[in-house]
């Protein structure tokens, strides 16, 4: 299409091949299991999610720290993994309600299931808490928390809005 400018949206997978993402993902996979076991009140054990999720997850942890693996590790352990576990735990009841509603048969011996990958999504959590409040099953605290989280998320986006360009420039300079 001559004379037109195109923008192609790409998934995080295009960055996963970078060595720092794979290294941090490999380091975080056993750490997320350990954190899931010792995290107070946690009911989610990320068996199938951890290995693949951690590698995709590290793209954000590393890139928001300008490629620094150590800061990405600290960011993941202190902030992202606990948040992912909290969000996944909050989504446990709705996962099971949806499964029952659509007639999904849980394997024998399984009483609940969760997904660290889907359950830790910020937007899913925010809309889940907002819908709980609107339908009367949520609390004012959850409403305030989800609105605060949305404001924090928007603020964080504003703060790091230039990071991808800065990081790309640094990569170009390092490769020259």
Using one digit for the tens of pLDDT, what is the confidence trace for 127-155? 888 888 888 887 888 888 888 888 988 88
SS3 167: helix
Q: Which 3 state secondary structure label does DSSP give 139? A: coil
pLDDT of 35 strictly over 90:
yes
Q: How far apart are CA 21 and CA 23, in angstroms?
A: 5
In terms of pTM, does the model score above 0.85? no
Burial grade of 49 (CB within 10 A; 0-12, 13-18, 19 or more): buried
65-42-31 Cα angle (round to 5): 40
> What is the DSSP secondary structure assignment for residue 13, as one 8-state letter?
G
Please compute, for residue 52, the number of CA atoms within 13 A of its CA located in the half-sphere on the CB side. Answer: 9
User: At 16, is the pLDDT very low, low, confident or very high (cuts 50, 70, 90)?
Assistant: low
What token pair was written down for 82? Answer: 């606990």
**pLDDT of 10 strictly over 70:** no
Question: Which of 26-40, 86-100, 110-124 has the weakest average pLDDT?
Answer: 110-124
Predicted local distance difference test score (pLDDT) of residue 24: 87
What are the φ and ψ backbone dihedral angles of 29, each rounded to 5 degrees? -55, -50
């Amino acid at each position: 299409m001559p004379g037109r400018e195109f923008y192609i949206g790409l998934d995080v997978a295009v960055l996963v091949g970078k060595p720092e993402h794979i290294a941090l993902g490999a380091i975080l996979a056993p750490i997320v299991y350990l954190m899931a076991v010792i995290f107070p009140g946690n009911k989610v054990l990320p068996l199938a999610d951890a290995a693949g999720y951690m590698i995709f997850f590290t793209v954000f942890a590393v890139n928001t720290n300008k490629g620094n693996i150590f800061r990405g590790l600290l960011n993941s352990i202190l902030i992202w993994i606990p948040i992912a576990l909290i969000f996944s735990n909050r989504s446990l009841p709705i996962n099971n309600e949806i499964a029952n509603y659509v007639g999904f048969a849980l394997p024998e011996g399984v009483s609940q299931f969760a997904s660290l990958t889907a359950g830790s999504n910020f937007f899913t959590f925010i809309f889940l808490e907002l819908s709980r409040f609107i339908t009367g099953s949520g609390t004012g605290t959850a409403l305030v928390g989800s609105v605060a989280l949305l404001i924090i998320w928007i603020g964080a986006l504003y703060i790091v809005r230039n990071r991808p360009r800065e990081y790309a420039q640094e990569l170009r300079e390092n490769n020259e």
